[in-house]
Structure 1
Amino acid sequence: MEAEGGDHAVDRAEALRAPSSLADQIAQILEDEILEGQYSDGSHLQQEEICGRFGVSRTPAREALRKLQAHNLVELVPNRGARVRMPTLRELNDVYQLRAELEGFAAELAARSREPDMLAALEKAHNTLSQIVPLAAGTLDTPDEAETGERLRRFNDMFHGVIHDAGGNQRLGNMIQELHRYFPKDTVRLAIRSPETLRSLYIDEHTAILEEIMQGRAAAARDAMRDHIHGSQTMLVDYLRKRGFPD
């Protein structure tokens, strides 16, 4: 089944640009379309169709499908390409509940650590993200949204990654990353359709987390991070439910 909305598909195709690899960009476009409800559950994605649509060889098309498989959004079927798999809202809730607890614990450890280099890196990532958010707000529902969305992802990952590593618990960081691989954590950005919501999620809530960590308030840092993750969960579940994702 082909995605609906030909003009929108053209815009997505035009979004292929450096610095990420072609496979990364194709996977991100297809991931967004799956989560926007443009494919039905069980519909097929053929390598040849992807090659033709994006003007690429089989190698990046195949790698893009593997990336989608890693995020549990497609199942690779021998000799039949890939089949779209719509995750259930219960699966999503399970992942986000675990993320809230684990990332909250990571924020607590970061607040207990307060290592100067970590705090500097965290503040730098937050400041950069704060500069990108107004740009992203101006590109909502435009062809440039994909590009600014990629920048938001990169520095949001950096902000959270610093916190995951701050406590020195490598197993904790690995567990969080495994949850991220199970379901794409930045999908919530698809549900954001107003500058106010964008600012609240990426600036205001991060500011609260940063402040608690910098002041060494461990319990408050944990609570701020948990609230941040649960807020994203609520927003994403509402978004996907409206697009027909099963309970």
Structure 2
Amino acid sequence: MIKSSGESPTPTARDQAYQWAKEAILGSRFPEGSFLEEKVVSDEAGVSRTPVREAFHRLAAEGYIQLLPRRGAQVRSVTARELFETYEMRQVLEIHGFKLLCDKRAELPPGLHEHLDRMEDPEQLERCWAGDRDAIARHATLDFFFHFSFVKASGNGVLIDLFRSLQSRHQRIAVSAVSLRPRRLRVINPEHRTLLDALTVHDFETASTTLRRHLNPDEQVISHLR
């Protein structure tokens, strides 16, 4: 995965609870519609109840769960409307980033080809095709950072912040969509290569056309969402 330079700070107890719960949701230990229990997260993450409650508020703000009075924390379901609206906003932000990047003839960050190699690792793809939600969640994380790399290369700080704010939706939707149609990765991954090749030579038209196709909602996925 493409990483920023510098050492990562030591995670707080709230961070530990948040990370454990997020991975458990994306990996389908807690499926959509199920409830997260504070005690389970506290025991598994090795922290007290207070940071778990703080983590729940962050997860709710990012759309992973709903905090229901007297019922607890329920894992949110991805809806067709959320998918459509997120794809629509991603197109707006990413295509604008492509335009800035190409107009400036900005250099892309190093390591993107290797990043795609990781996304196309045969063993990981086999696990995705078999419906392994942990493998699908890892692919979704790699997918976000691949697309985010182009937005960062645009150099527009506000655009970067706006796209970063979509990370949780991006990953939740990617996990849900790929879980429903894992073989679609055979289409998605080559489109990533086309995007990278186009933006390497600052070919805005090919990049924007490819992204629109890339983010065209799959009818079979939509038919399974509410």
Which bracket does the TM-score occupy, shorter chain normalised? 0.7 to 0.9
Instruction: State TM-score, norm by structure 2.
Output: 0.73
Structure 2: state its 5+ residue gaps.
1-14
> After superposition, what is the alpha-carbon deviation per residue over 1:59-83, rounded to whole angstroms, capped at 9, x for unaligned?
5644553443133232224665313
Match of 1:100 in 2: 91
Aligned length: 208
CA offsets 1:70-123 (integer angstroms, 9 cap, x no match): 33232224665313443432232112112122212212322233323x2x52xx
Q: What are the equivalent positions in structure 2 for 1:215-234 lying under 5 Å apart? A: 215-230=201-216, 233-234=217-218
Once residues 39 and 223 of structure 2 are traced to their aligned partners in structure 1, the CA distance between those partners, rounded to angstroms, is 31
- Cα distance in 2, alignment partners of residues 61 and 128 from structure 1: 33
**In structure 2, C-alpha distance between the alignment counterparts of 1:125 and 1:106, rounded to whole Å:** 17
Structure with more relative contact order (C-alpha pairs < 8 Å, separation 6 or more): 1
What is the TM-score when the length of structure 1 is the normalising length?
0.67
Secondary structure, aligned partner of 1:206 = helix
Is 2:175 the partner of 1:191?
A: no
- The aligned counterpart of 2:24 is 29
Match of 2:155 in 1: 168
For 1:47, which of 14, 27, 38 is the aligned residue?
38
**Does the Cα contact within 8 Å between 1:108 and 1:221 map onto a contact in 2?**
no
Q: Do 1:106 and 1:167's aligned partners in 2 also have CA atoms closer than 8 Å?
A: yes
Match of 1:152 in 2: 139
2:126 to 130, 138, 141: 138
Give the Cα separation in 2 of the matches to 1:201 and 1:86: 23
Residues 1:83 and 1:144: Cα distance change in structure 2 (over 3 Å): closer
CA contact (8 A) 2:17 2:42 kept: no
Segments of 5+ residues of structure 1 without an aligned counterpart are 1-19
Give the aligned partner of residue 239 of structure 1.
221
1:2-41 Cα distance to aligned partner (Å, 9 max, x none): xxxxxxxxxxxxxxxxxx956323312224439x9x443x
Instruction: Tell me the CA shift for residue 224 of structure 1.
Output: 1.5
1:126 to 82, 90, 113: 113
Supply the RMSD in Å over aligned alpha carbons.
3.3
Letter in structure 1 aligned against 2:126: G
User: In structure 2, how many angstroms separate the alpha carbons of the residues matched to 1:144 and 1:111?
Assistant: 37
Change (3 A) 1:143 1:241: closer
Distance 1:142 1:223, change over 3 A: closer
Q: Give the match's secondary structure for 2:215.
A: helix
Percent of aligned pairs with the same residue? 23
